Amino acid sequence: MSTSRWGRVAVLMGGRSAEREVSLMSGAGVLQALQSQGVDAHAFDPAQRPLQDLQTDGYARCFIALHGRFGEDGTVQGALELLGIPYTGSGVMASAVAMDKVMTKRLWRADGLPTPEAVVLQAGEHDAAHTCAVPDQLGLPLIVKPPHEGSSIGVTKVRGYSQMQEAVALAARHDAQVLCEAFIEGDEVTCPVIGEGASARALPVVKIIAPDGAYDYQNKYFTDDVRYLVPSGLPETEEREIQRIVLAAYRSLGCRGWGRADLMLRASDRQPFLLEMNTSPGMTGHSLVPMSARAAGISYEALCLELLGLARLDAEHSAH
């Protein structure tokens, strides 16, 4: 299969989000993989150059290896729609909704998909009276997080009332809204999806075993303390049920190209609960999508080529 038909390809990496460092690592991996397969691929950092340069420099398509704000939230996707340059991953609306964990929950709830009970604290509700009422509703422990960040940034597991104020203040440094979620005790799993609509397929489930359950930013990217099981070792019925729910969650948000859902598997009854959908997952040496793909017999290079081959515009779709 000739890779020259894709023309000049920009790998968008870096960017301005809190996840810039991880994005540079993802982008470097993708760039090397594409180049090794004969793709005319080049690094492009939107934090250092205007996106208009993509058009000026004759890029025919973009592989988005940006994470977080201005990369995964529909803004870059919208700019590329205006420039008419096909890109990998979800379109404008799905990217924007998936980046907002509050909106994501609303859609999943509406479609009857399982996701933990939650309370949203708005900008004026970060005082002691509001924050201390949350554990009464959700129980303890609970999770406090900013709804628009990724990579576990600003997330706290709250075990007592006395921690609530500090946890909310930390999340509020990243976001005006603060999302408080009931904590699901059990196994942490993740499951990637590739494709679109009826042809979308779920890859093998990855089970995550973090030290003391602390699957945080440091452990995700910069240590080797976390264990990943793929094959997951879960009973086949559980693996299939997770994949079914993840595909439904992906379609519910209107995702395309690829994505990765994170879930908790409740210990008491083995019920999976959806936490979030990543529409521009990591592609670093520690990342989970390449790990899952490898278990399905797909090399990192083949994965990058497949994702690049799925690049397109929202506008193309609506015209069909």
Looking at 59, 221, 250, 300, which residue is catalytic? 221
What whole-number distance in Å separates Cα of residue 230 and Cα of residue 62? 30
Looking at 14, 15, 17, 19, which residue is catalytic? 19
Q: CB–CB of 276/252 below 8 Å?
A: no
Question: Does 19 qualify as catalytic in the annotation?
Answer: yes
If you compute the radius of gyration of the chain from its CA atoms, what whole number of angstroms results?
Answer: 19
Respond yes or no on whether the N-terminal peptide bond of residue 204 is cis (omega within 30° of 0).
no
Looking at 29, 68, 150, 282, which residue is catalytic? 282
**What are the tokens at 281?**
């997952």
Q: CB–CB of 64/17 below 8 Å?
A: no
Q: Which amino acid is at 52?
A: Q
Question: Does 2 qualify as catalytic in the annotation?
Answer: no
Looking at 250, 260, 287, 300, which residue is catalytic? 260
Question: Does 268 qualify as catalytic in the annotation?
Answer: no
Looking at 73, 149, 175, 276, which residue is catalytic? 276
Respond yes or no on whether the N-terminal peptide bond of residue 141 is cis (omega within 30° of 0).
yes
Dump strand ranges (E) for 73-199.
Answer: 118-121, 142-145, 156-158, 178-182, 186-194
Question: Does 49 qualify as catalytic in the annotation?
Answer: no
Distance of CA 218 to the CA centre of its chain: 17
Looking at 262, 287, 300, 314, which residue is catalytic? 262
Question: Does 151 qualify as catalytic in the annotation?
Answer: yes
Question: Does 292 qualify as catalytic in the annotation?
Answer: no
Looking at 23, 219, 252, 278, which residue is catalytic? 278
Question: Does 239 qualify as catalytic in the annotation?
Answer: no
Burial (Cβ within 10 Å: 0-12, 13-18, ≥19) of residue 224: exposed
What whole-number distance in Å separates Cα of residue 99 and Cα of residue 297? 29
Catalytic residues: 19, 151, 221, 260, 262, 276, 278, 282
